[in-house]
Structure 1
């Protein structure tokens, strides 16, 4: 298993991230591709986890919200690779990188169906649920040490 990162949209990491996101969010969850494939800046870091066979199986991205906060988005694992802890590994790596960047916290908008997963990683719900791309989400925050 290996996690690779890139902030370049012409990189293989970004291409693999988009492939996973299309499979999970567009094909599986029926989210409009125009909503899913959005514009990013070089401040956005894409993470892709490759399994032991070198296949891209999970992805996430993080963008600084401000000098102390990273905003995690687009956490996805291919259906055939779920249940193996890949998303957990990605989020742990993002948290470790956030500490190195001097961030105090990470935030994300969790699909309500995945809220328990994020709670197990230490994220806490904030505010009321909201709708995004036709799905209920919950803002969640993880304090970094």
Structure 2
């Protein structure tokens, strides 16, 4: 099941996944992971047989685009295509919300994943929290 987070339990499930993937696995400081956009973002959670498995969020950005952030899948669930499901769901909801498309700062190792979803790389590689990233953009048709 995939859905927009609607209550405190779902929000806590989403934060637990983000802390596991970004803070514990990748070494992002907790104070950088939990940011000023938590309350204005739409959070997405995917459950695998009632267990929290994957997350993402999006928020208003600029020029009619939404910004996708914090897409993460727990290790035991990375073989199920849940990253793609989260991204497809976010893009569907962003389109329904009237956005022209989405942008994201994708980790460099995931660049090919985002390109397969139709994202175009804009600019050079850069560091965010000491992790190489690319700014990428998808315009809805």
Please say whether Structure 1 and Structure 2 have the same fold, judged by a TM-score greater than 0.5: yes
Map 1:66-77 to 2 at 5 A.
66=62, 68-77=64-73
2:125 paired with 1:126? no
Name whichever of 90-99 and 10-19 sits farther off.
Answer: 10-19
Give 5+ residue unaligned stretches, structure 2: none
* 1:87 and 2:83 matched: yes
Look up the SS of the partner of 1:66 in the other structure: coil
Q: Distance in 1 between matches of 2:130 and 2:50?
A: 33
- 1:68-122: CA deviation from partner (whole Å, max 9, x where unpaired): 1100000100011102111101110111111111111100000001111101111
1:114 equivalenced with 2:110 (yes/no): yes
Q: Distance between the aligned counterparts of 2:42 and 2:8, measured in 1?
A: 11
Look up the SS of the partner of 2:99 in the other structure: coil
User: 2:31 — aligned with what?
Assistant: 34
Q: Deviations over 1:2-25 (max 9, x none)?
A: 11213x7x6222211110001101
Deviation of 1:41 after TM superposition, in Å, equals 5.1
Number of the residue aligned with 1:48: 45
Distance in 2 between the 1:29 and 1:76 partners? 11
Q: How many residue pairs are counted as aligned between the two chains?
A: 141
- Note if contact 1:60-1:90 (Cα within 8 Å) is conserved in structure 2: yes
Gaps of 5+ in 1: none
C-alpha distance in structure 2 between counterparts of 1:134 and 1:41, whole Å? 22
State the SS of the aligned residue for 1:95. Answer: helix
How much is the aligned-residue C-alpha RMSD, in angstroms?
1.4
